[in-house]
Amino acid sequence: MKRAFTLMEVMIVVAIVIVLISLAVPNILRSRVITNECAAIASLRTLDKACQTYHMDEQAYPDSLLTLSAATPPYIDNTLGAGRKQGYEFIYESDDPDRFNIHANLLHGGLLRGKYFYLDESGIIRSNNNEEAGPDDQIVS
Cβ atoms of residues 69 and 77 within 8 Å: yes
**Domain-by-domain residue ranges, the chain?**
8-139
Distances in Å between the alpha carbon of 76 and those of 7, 82, 101, 108, 141? 60, 10, 16, 24, 23
Residue 35 has φ and ψ, to the nearest 5°, of -60, -45
CA–CA separation, 29 and 122 (whole Å): 33
Pairing relationship of beta strands 116-120 and 125-128 according to DSSP bridges: antiparallel
Instruction: Return per-residue pLDDT of the chain as tens, 141 residues.
Output: 678 889 999 999 999 999 999 999 888 888 989 999 999 999 999 999 999 999 999 999 999 999 999 999 999 999 999 999 999 999 999 999 999 999 999 988 666 678 999 999 999 999 999 999 999 999 997
